[in-house]
Amino acid sequence: MTWPPTMIEAVKPMSNHSISEVLPRGTLQRFGIAGGFNTFLFWIIWETLRISPVYTGTNETLLWSISWVGSSIIAHFVHRVFTFDGRRDVSKTVLGAISVYAVGMMGSTLTYDSMLNLFEEVPIRLLFLINIAVWGLFTWACMRWLVFGYTRIEEE
């Protein structure tokens, strides 16, 4: 290899590894990638509702809840395919995921509403990101151990 390496030379040693070797299933990193996609969907739903006529007749907290439900349905299947695996039957993971997302929706909605009242001067999108990050960690832990049944870090 020459120095400095070309782009192809630098990437070639990494190409021999599968995604599961680099990012094992069930890890926070892998959850974060899928969670980024799911959060993007959540954000699109939330922003769309905020600019729609629905917003004038309701409040921020209700829009948050609606967005949470909409993105949670998609999130379960994204995490089942990409983050975790099919070690448990889909009928069991769907029920578990509904429970986790229901608790997450209640908790995140309460914290979001509280932050709106306590931190009125903080930009709303910053509050969005903080709340999503905190509840994302809760969701990852519950999905990993309770829903998909991972028990050890080294599991794949």
Taking alpha carbons only, the member of 130, 80, 124, 70 closest to residue 101 is: 70
Q: How many CB atoms lie within 10 A of CB 127?
A: 19
pTM: 0.71
Query: What is the reported pLDDT for 4?
Result: 65
Question: Which residues of the chain are modeled with pLDDT < 50?
Answer: 155-156
Query: What is the reported pLDDT for 40?
Result: 93
Query: What is the reported pLDDT for 99?
Result: 92
With beta carbons less than 8 A apart as the criterion, state whether 30 and 83 touch: yes
Residue 134 phi, psi (nearest 5): -65, -50
Query: What is the reported pLDDT for 14?
Result: 54
What contacts 24+ positions apart, CB below 8 Å, involve 8-12? none
Query: What is the reported pLDDT for 59?
Result: 81
Residues near 99 by Cβ (< 8 Å), separated by ≥ 6?
Answer: none
The per-residue pLDDT for range 62-80, each reduced to its tens digit, is 888 889 888 888 888 888 8
Query: What is the reported pLDDT for 156?
Result: 46
Domains of the chain, by residue range, sit at 25-147
